[in-house]
């Protein structure tokens, strides 16, 4: 059991979308799955960890509360957990702190950075009208994709304008995130998909959208496009995954949840719980800088696996999502990591 201390005055309805995800489950949801692992305490001297209540950028603006909590944590020599929200996340240099974020570049992240999965609902409960089952191996690998992917000068200019606006926010410090180079994700995605589509050795089942979620606005259209999206993952052994605006892929976790095999283009990604999970056993990780083409990297993986081995990977991927990547499952694993760490510190 880990005891957490925070400034509960920030856990308000107005701040729900900004709250540290674990605190959200403990305070608002009162998760039964987590009650055996965490509890909130109102005594900082009695806690194991101090948690910043809302995302760093928002909490930092409340300088008095921010400095008071940090001073108390340092006084009692407590580790600090903080959450940097958004697609980019933010590198924070606070001693004895641990940063939880969705993405970032592995080569630039500290050992005290915890990458969180994208927390999604179970697709078998929300979108797919079937239960989990495995697909058999086909002679050629079947690769699916449904999503926003578009090329062209207009698309490029729109992407660059969005990047310019973010750069301006970065310069004036109106929000907090790590600076990133221009990466037109929709264009890059289309280019890689078109390369794979031209291969005679791959079966591709790609549905390329001109807009996010095919421009769906009302709930009926959103439900339809969500079902199409998950059916495509379910019907294909592999799904191509590449980063979006931030350096992570939500589709990667959605593919694991369906029990299929992600093909992840590595853009210096850090994957969650990599000290616990051998990700090479669950996904095809592509290296775009390799002399071996992306097509050959996929074929090498597929051809080296038997039908039984591919079936086992599918089962293990679904299980991995349930035991490590669901919201409560992830924080249970984090609990175990820190309990062991605290034992070592006090040994």
- pLDDT tens-place string over residues 13-58: 999 999 999 999 999 988 999 999 999 999 999 999 999 999 999 9
Helix/strand/coil for 121: coil
**Of 127, 142, 131, 298, which is closest to residue 235 (Cα–Cα)?**
142
Residues 273 and 139 in one domain: yes
Number of structural domains the chain divides into: 2
- High-pLDDT (> 90) share of the chain, %: 80
Going through the chain in order, the beta strands assigned E by DSSP cover: 2-5, 38-40, 49-51, 80-83, 97-101, 113-115, 142-148, 203-209, 238-241, 261-265, 284-286
Q: Hey, which residues does 49 pair with through a beta bridge?
A: 4
Q: What pLDDT, on the 0 to 100 scale, is given for residue 210? A: 76
Q: What pLDDT, on the 0 to 100 scale, is given for residue 2? A: 97
Residues 104 and 231 in one domain: no
Greater model confidence, 9 or 210:
9
**Stretch 326-331: mean pLDDT, rounded?**
97
271: exposed, middle or buried (C-beta count within 10 Å: 0-12, 13-18, 19+)? middle
Residues 61 and 144 in one domain: no
Tell me if 64 is assigned to some domain. Answer: yes
Helix/strand/coil for 333: helix
Tell me if 338 is assigned to some domain. Answer: no
Tell me if 334 is assigned to some domain. Answer: no
Q: Is the pLDDT of residue 171 over 80?
A: no
Judge if pTM exceeds 0.85. Answer: yes
Residues 141 and 39 in one domain: no
* Residue 71 phi, psi dihedral angles, 5° rounding: -60, -40
Q: What pLDDT, on the 0 to 100 scale, is given for residue 283? A: 98
Tell me if 331 is assigned to some domain. Answer: no
Show the domain range for 12.
2-115
Q: CA 146, 151, 154 angle in degrees (round to 5)?
A: 125
CATH number at residue 209: 3.40.50
Residues 292 and 205 in one domain: yes
């Amino acid at each position: 059991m880990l005891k957490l201390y925070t400034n509960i005055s920030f856990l308000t309805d107005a701040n729900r979308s900004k709250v540290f995800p674990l605190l959200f489950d403990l305070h608002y949801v009162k998760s039964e799955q987590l009650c055996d692992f965490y509890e909130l305490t109102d005594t900082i001297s009695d806690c194991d960890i101090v948690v910043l209540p809302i995302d760093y950028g928002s909490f930092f603006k409340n300088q008095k509360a921010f400095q008071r909590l940090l001073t108390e944590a340092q006084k009692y020599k407590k580790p600090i957990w903080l959450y940097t929200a958004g697609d980019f996340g933010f590198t924070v240099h606070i001693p004895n702190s641990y940063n939880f974020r969705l993405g970032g570049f592995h080569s630039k992240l500290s050992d005290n950075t915890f990458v969180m999965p994208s927390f999604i609902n179970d697709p078998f409960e929300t979108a797919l009208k079937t239960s989990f089952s495995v697909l058999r191996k086909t002679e050629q690998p079947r690769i699916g994709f449904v999503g926003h992917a578009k090329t062209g000068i207009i698309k490029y200019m729109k992407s660059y304008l969005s990047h310019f606006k973010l750069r301006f926010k970065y310069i004036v410090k109106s929000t907090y995130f790590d600076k990133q180079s221009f990466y037109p994700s929709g264009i890059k995605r289309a280019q890689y998909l078109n390369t794979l589509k031209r291969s005679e050795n791959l079966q591709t089942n790609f549905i390329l959208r001109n807009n996010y979620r095919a421009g769906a606005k009302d709930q009926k259209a959103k439900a339809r496009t969500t079902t199409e999206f998950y059916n495509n993952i379910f019907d294909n052994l592999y799904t191509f995954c590449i980063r979006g605006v931030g350096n992570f892929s939500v589709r990667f976790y959605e593919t694991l949840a369906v029990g299929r095999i992600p093909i992840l283009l590595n853009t210096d990604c850090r994957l969650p719980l990599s000290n616990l999970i051998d990700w090479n056993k669950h996904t095809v990780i592509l290296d775009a800088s390799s002399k071996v083409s992306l097509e050959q990297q996929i074929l090498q993986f597929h051809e080296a696996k038997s039908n039984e081995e591919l079936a086992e990977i599918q089962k293990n991927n679904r299980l991995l999502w349930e035991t490590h990547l669901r919201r409560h499952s992830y924080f249970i694993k984090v609990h175990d990591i820190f309990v062991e760490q605290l034992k070592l510190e006090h040994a």
